[in-house]
Structure 1
Amino acid sequence: MNIRQIEVFYAVMTNGTASRAAEVLRISQPAVSKAIQELERDIGFALFRREKGRMFPTSEGQMFFREVEGSFSGLVHLKSAAARIRDFGSGEIRVASLSALSTNVLPRALSGFQKKHPNVAITFQAQMSSVVKDLVASGQFDVGLAADEIDIAGVDVRPFARYRVSIAVPSGHRLESADVIRPQDIDGEAFIALSPEDTTRRSAETIFFNENIKPKMVLETPYSTTICAMVQAGMGIGMVNPMTAEPYVGRGLSLRPFEPAVYFRTLLLLPPNRQPSRIVSDFVEEVMRHSVFQD
């Protein structure tokens, strides 16, 4: 007894005749008859009575069909699962992102993706960029978004977005009314800084050094969201990604452009030497719709 014989038997029982079963299975009627005969020989009893060229199920055949129905539904499920894995991958996607994009870009991209793939399980983590890179490089996560300060060895990389730095200032601050904030405006100001390894901070420090500007460093953090919260609390001013600052604007915080221009640059990461599944490709396409390259 094999799966093909069971499939033919199921087709005859559900379609009523051998000829209709042959049409559904796209095989010849003699092939249907042969498969049924082989199945009967293998199981040791008759499944059908043959009368005037027609096949009528025996009582044993009816009993056997009830058993087959349960097993066949499981087989159909397996075929469906195999097709889903073939077309879409595992049915799940694991995404990691730097914190700066975890409250704006990623929710929008994941929402758009979920509408297209409502049955795909999504795992999402917001981490430091170095951790995001490690998760993707090890294959634990399928897609990552990270700042460009990371070592990109061991991951496939493509540019994702570039955001021009804004200066976050607390409500009522003297710089809140400035059209543009320049380096000399920051000299001596209480300043909440990004981590030393951040490329945006290093670019700003080069500008400060060249112009002999010395902000008063009151706190360091790798997260633009933390800078926004500290600015909102009145601790000082800081350079932030304007996307991250969106929820804070008008709630004790204002944004002002900074000149000369400094940028946050982010990368999209994929595991190395792995062909993306259709699910991953669809997510990458969706998230790239939300990428921005500001001048």
Structure 2
Amino acid sequence: MTTLHDLDLRQLEAFAAVISAGNITAAAKALDRSQPAVSRLIQELEQSLGYLLFTRNGPRIHPTEEALQLHQYVQKALLSLQQIRLRAQEIGQQQHRPLHIAATPALAAGLLPQALATLGLQNKVHIISESAEQTAHAVISGEADIGLCSLPLEHHAVDLHWIGQSRCVVALQQDDPLAKETHITLNCLAGRRLIAPWNPLRLRGRFEKALKKLKVPPHETIETNSSANILACVRAGLGVAILEPVTAWGMPLEGVTIVPLEEDIPYFFGVITPQGRQLSLAVQSLIAALETAAEQLLSSFQRLPAAEHPRVMRLLNQED
């Protein structure tokens, strides 16, 4: 069995470089090594693992299925080692500790930059943009110092600082007849193609239930896991969207008009930190800056105390 001592870091770097570059010549240039040296490292890694990583056809090489499977783990490991190197340098130079932030894509792009812009940060900032579940996990595991995530956020390993509430909106192509309205009802969307987030367990499930309750079925649906993709599809005239307000107002897209939704379908998000961790001044400042940014960005924003989480979840479950 291959042991950790058998896995040479230079071999893994060469392997990752060849996968990324597509050939040994380009990988050797990226690594500042000779082409024979990189070829030798690949061959040694193959011998150590006991299976081929690349098939060779003259000067061309192609990764095997095993190589593609291995690459995802090697890439993560190399990135982690790079982070260790950077953190070690910062510790040795007594630099400010980086501020690690995890956030869902909507909050990372629509709200977080506005909050960070108000801070005179001395720290480096690392932003991890993941799904709601992965964002919460990054905070729970201590990978992130602070997280911005949609509800639910009740977990014994996190401290919830406050909950934000704002009404959902409708996104339309700018020349859509409904774009001139001051408010749009769900009934106005009858028969329209809906551009929707793919996850039925979050916001999508809630507005679909509201549409069904009013007997307003969409004509058909395009699904995506990105609010930015939703706006791009709307701009292209592929349909309309019921959208969380953070992306709608925080990432305005030319050619797309945002109109408030008449029915109150609230969007809830929260700010969390690892439970029991002493908060740095940077994290404390960001918690306050996020609230200020949300007040300025979202016209219907309400700040709810963390103690309101059970009530909010009861309200959402009643909708279900």
Q: When the two structures are superposed, what TM-score results if normalisation uses the length of structure 1?
A: 0.63
Separation in 2, partners of 1:153, 1:223: 29
Within 2, Cα distance between the matches of 1:129 and 1:287? 18
User: Which one of 91, 97, 105 corresponds to residue 97 of structure 2?
Assistant: 91
Higher mean C-alpha deviation, range 154-163 or range 179-188: 154-163
For the residue of structure 1 that corresponds to 2:182, the secondary structure is: coil
Structure 2 gaps, min length 5: 1-90, 303-320
Q: Residue 91 of structure 1: CA displacement?
A: 2.3
Tell me if 1:294 matches 2:301. Answer: yes
- CA distance change for structure 1 residues 247 and 203 in 2, over 3 Å: closer, same or farther? closer
The match for 1:154 among 124, 148, 157 is 157
- 1:249 is displaced (CA, Å) by 4.6
Which AA in structure 2 matches 1:93?
L
**Contact persistence 1:94–1:142 (CA under 8 A):** yes
Aligned-partner Cα distance in 2 for 1:146–1:247: 16
The CA deviation string for residues 82-109 of structure 1, in whole angstroms up to 9 with x for no partner, is xx8xxxxx62210111111222321122
Cα RMSD, aligned residues only: 2.6
Return the match for 2:116 from 97, 110, 133.
Answer: 110
1:207 aligned to 207, 210, 218, which one? 210
Mapping of residues 45-84 of structure 1, within 5 Å: 81=94
Amino acid at match of 2:258: L
Q: What corresponds to 2:141 in structure 1?
A: 138
User: What is the correspondence of 1:174-189 to structure 2 with a 5 Å cutoff?
Assistant: 174-189=177-192
Q: CA deviation at 1:234?
A: 1.0
The reply on whether 1:283 has 2:289 as its aligned counterpart is no
Query: Are residues 1:267 and 2:270 paired?
Result: yes
Change (3 A) 1:223 1:153: farther
8 Å Cα contact 2:169/2:248 also seen in 1: no
Q: What is residue 127 of structure 1 aligned with on the other side?
A: 130
Q: 1:255 to 1:228 in 2, by over 3 A?
A: same
Partners of 2:155 and 2:173 lie apart in 1 by 36
Rounded Cα–Cα distance in structure 2 between residues aligned with 1:156 and 1:288: 16
Rounded to whole Å, the distance in 2 between the matches of 1:261 and 1:131 is: 28
| Residue 251 of structure 1, CA deviation | 1.7
With over 3 angstroms needed to count, the CA separation of the structure-2 counterparts of 1:282 and 1:228, relative to structure 1, is same
Contact 1:157 1:269 in 2 (8 A): yes
Q: CA deviation at 1:259?
A: 1.8
Cα 1:236–1:151 shift into 2, 3 Å: farther
TM-score by length of 2: 0.58
Q: Which of 240, 243, 246 matches 2:246?
A: 243
**Using the alignment, how far apart are the partners of 1:256 and 1:121 within structure 2?**
37
SS at match of 1:135: helix
> Does the residue aligned with 2:272 lie in a helix, a strand or coil?
strand
Distance 1:141 1:184 in 2: 42
Kept in 2, the 8 Å contact 1:191–1:236? The answer is: yes
Distance in 1 between the 2:128 and 2:271 partners? 15
- C-alpha displacement of 1:155: 1.8
Query: Aligned residue for 1:34?
Result: none
- Give the AA of the match of 1:105: L
Cα offset for 1:177?
A: 2.5
Is contact 2:231–2:253 with CA below 8 Å preserved after alignment? no
- CA deviations on 1:102-129 (whole Å, 9 max, x unpaired) are 223211222222x2x33x1211122211
Between the two proteins, the alignment pairs up a number of residues equal to 208
The alpha-carbon distance between structure 1 residues 279 and 252, as it changes in their structure 2 partners (threshold 3 A), is closer
> How far apart in 2 are the matches of 1:294 and 1:283?
18
Determine helix, strand or coil for the equivalent of 1:291. Answer: helix
